[in-house]
A and B are shown apart, each in its own frame.
Chain A
Amino acid sequence: MSFTTPTFVIAAVTSVVLYYLIPKRTRPYLLLAASLGFYLAGGWQAMVYLVGCGLLTYSASLGIDAVRAKIEDSSRAKFFCKTLAAGCIFLCFGLLFAVKYWDWFAVLTADAMLKLGFGAPLPTLELIVPLGISFYTFKSVGYVIDVYRKKYPAERNFARHLLFVSYFPQIVQGPISRRNELMDAIDNPSPDIALNLKCGIQTALRGYLKKLVIADRAAVAVNAILGDPEGYGGAMVLMAILLYSIQLYCDFSGGIDMARGISLAYGVEMTENFRRPLFASSLADYWRRWHITLGSWMRDYVFYPLSLSKPLIKFGKFTRKRIGGKLGKILPTSAATFAIYIFIGIWHGASFKYIAFGFWNGILITASLLLEPLFLRVKEKLSFIGIGAWRVIGILRTNLIVVAGRYLTRAATFTTALSLFALLFTNPQFGRLFDGSLMGLGLTFEDWIIMLICALALALFELAEEITGKDMFTLIDERPAALQVAVIAAVLIVLVVFGIYRGDYIASEFIYKQY
């Protein structure tokens, strides 16, 4: 069931009404029932994976706590705890690998298997990919590691653990919450019902506007151009990738806004997942603003353990002694950073294009770390350029790099991405941008106008948030009541007229739900 279907909206509103009618202590159980009901609507097979992941991580974390309580010898206890945590992580990621990557791996290695004399290639499994499996696997594994690191004790109530794993607003595309943050928010929801509903509705409306009015329209033009890239030429393909970048942001962050909005209506605030990535001044800054919870998960559970692993610590000592200077200091961290971006690339899916996407980000960020002293010297030499101008240059440069990287994620394969990019030089056809071709992509003139006005309004709104440092609620709350009502009414009208009652040629499917 998608967040954009009327059935979902009716079910979500009903659950919010029920939530405030029942006693406070039973509310988490209502959220659990709603979450399981939401997931079950997608089929019982996927439910088996979800409950399996819940049972596995529940048992492993209880096992870790039990070992600590029963075994006094700390080194033996540590060994058993480590075995339990590692076994659980191996099984969780093994399951994720089986459903998402196995078939790709089997096809990829088919020739090699035959050449190596194995007789037959590895069999493909053709398993269903359960909705949101990467998201709930990552948050469940994070929970087990936190229990192993003694950040908090294991959850003893299975229903509560299953609620954490399956909490429906965040199961489709995140955010990847930490157990203590989400369960604290569920256990201590904001008591001000009017404020909860106001914030929830405003956030969800922004999400629906991004998704239904902007992203879904951009998708029509993107699909049309990329359906015949040779015919349209490199300039139009670049336009498609630019539109795809807008589509992806509005689709993903729109979905997150809907999720956060629904959760806020219960008084449960979820972790932020986007902080205006359009205004990032470097690629590293971009990844701190885009899909924040995936980045922080990678930082806490991969980057730190990797950076502080014995081989990298040894490597660090070696580079500090032998190479010295800035390079000697940051080489080990850069190696870990590079590994993280490869991992993030692979997280996106089973394809060489995603590995290439990881390399693209890893190489640029590692290079920027290594070249930082050089950049600082250049900046000093060009001291006549003010701080504000450098910031604008940084933002433009970052957006250029991000859009270039999107060739890799949008194209069907890695080689297609390269040929799409090459078209810009071999067959650009710049004239197609101005000869009315844009009007022949399946969108009406009205569609283009409403999409561009809404995208511009969104960008200006985010610019106001960026400059003032205030969030959406504060910015709206500071205005006179009449203006507040007018803004919300305008958004509602645009949403109803252009988002709900729109042409059948505009489809609605979330991009990130496949992850």
Chain B
Amino acid sequence: MEKLYEILENICPGIDVRSEALVDDGLIDSFDIVALVGEIMDEFGVELNVDDILPENFNSADAIMSLIERSR
């Protein structure tokens, strides 16, 4: 989880990475999501694709983590 927080902080400096509404509150946008997917695929060695790009999958670090778990 710490690794994911670190990635989020790198991509979107200054946001509250523990927020439960990253997408809903506009803390991350489509550019961030694409960058995030690239980083996640590199760091966690999983294969994500466009079908996974749903707001609910990126709304919180927990949601992103469970997406990573599902993709393993």
Query: Using a CB–CB distance below 8 Å, which chain A residues touch chain B?
Result: 149-151, 299-300, 303-305, 307-308, 313, 316-317, 320, 329-330, 332-333, 336-337, 369
Query: What is the bound-complex CA distance between A305 and B52, given in angstroms?
Result: 11
- Is B15 among interface residues, defined by CB-CB distance under 8 A? no
A150 touches B51 (CB 8 A): yes
Query: What is the bound-complex CA distance between A426 and B30, given in angstroms?
Result: 43
A-B pairs with lowest CB-CB distance, top 6: A307-B34, A149-B51, A305-B50, A304-B53, A304-B50, A299-B30
* Cβ contacts A to B, 5 pairs, < 8 Å: A149-B50, A299-B30, A303-B34, A320-B42, A330-B31
The smallest C-beta distance from B15 to any residue of chain A, in angstroms, reads 16
Given contacts A316-B38, A317-B42, contact A333 B53 (CB under 8 A): no
A329 touches B35 (CB 8 A): yes
Query: What is the bound-complex CA distance between A19 and B71, given in angstroms?
Result: 47
Which residues on the B side are within 8 Å of A333 (C-beta)?
A: 31, 34-35
The smallest C-beta distance from A288 to any residue of chain B, in angstroms, reads 8
Residue of B nearest to A305 (CB): B50
Within residues 31 to 72 of chain B, which ones have a CB less than 8 A from any CB in chain A?
Answer: 31, 33-35, 37-38, 41-42, 48-51, 53-54
A330 touches B35 (CB 8 A): yes
The interface bits of chain B over 5-43 (1 if a CB of A lies within 8 angstroms of the residue's CB, else 0) are 000000000000000000000000011011101100110
- Additional A-B contacts beyond A149-B51, A313-B41 (19; CB < 8 A): A149-B50, A150-B51, A299-B30, A300-B53, A303-B30, A303-B34, A304-B50, A308-B37, A308-B49, A313-B38, A316-B38, A317-B42, A330-B35, A332-B34, A332-B38, A333-B31, A333-B35, A336-B34, A337-B31
Query: What is the bound-complex CA distance between A303 and B51, given in angstroms?
Result: 13
Query: What is the bound-complex CA distance between A305 and B48, given in angstroms?
Result: 11
Determine the main DSSP class of B at the interface with A.
helix
A304 touches B41 (CB 8 A): no
Residue of A nearest to B33 (CB): A304
Query: What is the bound-complex CA distance between A307 and B51, given in angstroms?
Result: 13
Count CB-based A-B contacts (< 8 Å): 39
Which residues on the B side are within 8 Å of A330 (C-beta)?
A: 31, 35
B50 touches A308 (CB 8 A): yes
A308 touches B35 (CB 8 A): no
Candidates A303, A308, A337; contact of B48 at CB < 8 Å: A308
Which residues on the A side are within 8 Å of B37 (C-beta)?
A: 308
Query: What is the bound-complex CA distance between A308 and B50, given in angstroms?
Result: 7
Query: What is the bound-complex CA distance between A316 and B11, given in angstroms?
Result: 14
Given contacts A313-B38, A313-B41, A317-B42, contact A308 B31 (CB under 8 A): no
Query: What is the bound-complex CA distance between A320 and B35, given in angstroms?
Result: 11
Query: What is the bound-complex CA distance between A332 and B41, given in angstroms?
Result: 15
The smallest C-beta distance from A284 to any residue of chain B, in angstroms, reads 9
Which residues on the A side are within 8 Å of B41 (C-beta)?
A: 313
Residue picked from B30, B37, B48, B49, most chain A C-beta under 10 Å: B30
Query: What is the bound-complex CA distance between A334 and B50, given in angstroms?
Result: 18
Residue of A nearest to B38 (CB): A316
Residue picked from A149, A308, A313, most chain B C-beta under 10 Å: A308
Which residues on the B side are within 8 Å of A313 (C-beta)?
A: 38, 41
Given contacts A329-B35, A336-B34, contact A308 B42 (CB under 8 A): no
Query: What is the bound-complex CA distance between A149 and B41, given in angstroms?
Result: 20
Query: What is the bound-complex CA distance between A337 and B48, given in angstroms?
Result: 20
The smallest C-beta distance from A454 to any residue of chain B, in angstroms, reads 32
Query: What is the bound-complex CA distance between A316 and B42, given in angstroms?
Result: 11
The smallest C-beta distance from B68 to any residue of chain A, in angstroms, reads 15
The smallest C-beta distance from B62 to any residue of chain A, in angstroms, reads 22
Residue of A nearest to B29 (CB): A288
Residue of A nearest to B41 (CB): A313
Query: What is the bound-complex CA distance between A150 and B33, given in angstroms?
Result: 20
Which residues on the A side are within 8 Å of B50 (C-beta)?
A: 149, 304-305, 308
